[in-house]
Amino acid sequence: MRFSEGSLFVRVRENVRGRQVFLVQSTAFPTNDNFMELLFWVDACKRASAASVTVVMPYFGYNKGDKKDEPRVSIRARVCADCIEAAGADRLVTMDLHAAQIQGFFRVPVDDLYALPVLCDAIKKKELEDLIVVAPDTGFAKQGRKYATYLGVTMAIGDKERSGHNEEAEVLEIIGDVEGKTALIVDDFTISGGTLVDMAQKLEERGARAVYAAISHGVFAGDCMRRIEDSPIEKLVVTDSVETQPVEFGPKIEVVSVAPLFAEAIKRIHNHESISVLFPQ
């Protein structure tokens, strides 16, 4: 329930005393409202004597704010972690955090699942010839290598420069030979689509015969969809981790579900079983 001035009211209508509670909520569109609502749900469940509360957050908003890289800025991901813990959460389950060190912002267990197997299986079904994985920048090179290894192909890397916080970055160069190959751009998320489209154009200029993309979190905003539809990208495979999309998907978008992945994680946590089998080797 939302009051007229914008504040939220939540109430648990089931008996949760002594139970393991799993709260499923991404934090996007609108990020702040969804995050605050999540905190209230955690608090409500703990005050209702739940044995444990696990936050299942497929997409962790603010996870890009993982460091203090300039003066007088907030490490937003750390603030969010502190709030989730302060509200009473006992565990967090999420997917493809922007940086692995975010797990260290929490003092409770964090399970950071990977969309890689789901995305790669969707790509394999397309039976693309002469495939090469392309990481958008050096920061994603390590994860890009995992995609390349999983698919059994080689990898190239983009040289990207970002001058501000306007969600725009310029791709300066492609490191690697992509001529005559089918390029697969991989990344953890996209918002404006700027890097994806710029990368696709650079790959086309370097002789790639086709360009595909696979993204964990499609946080599509603004005219992102128009940019993608007008770009050389033939198909963008994305998960359903963001369920509150403000835009209508174009024909180039292919959605694959990570619901079975999270369901298996929840089942294993509930049964006190290892979830390491869910991580690609």
* Active site residues per annotation: 160
Beta bridge partners, 184, equal: 133, 212
Whole-angstrom Cα distance, residue 275 to residue 64?
25
CB atoms < 10 A from the CB of 136, how many? 24
Take residue 14 and report the two structure tokens written for it: 């089931």
Long-range CB contacts (within 8 A, 24+) of 99-102: 99/63, 99/66, 99/67, 101/66, 102/60, 102/63, 102/66, 102/77
Instruction: Give the E-state strand segments of the chain in sequence order.
Output: 20-24, 52-57, 91-95, 110-113, 131-135, 154-161, 170-175, 182-190, 210-218, 233-239, 253-256
Look up residue 200 and give its two tokens: 């696709």
Place of tokens 């497929």: 58
Amino acid 3 reads F
Picking from 23, 96, 85, 34, the residue whose alpha carbon sits closest to that of residue 59 is: 96
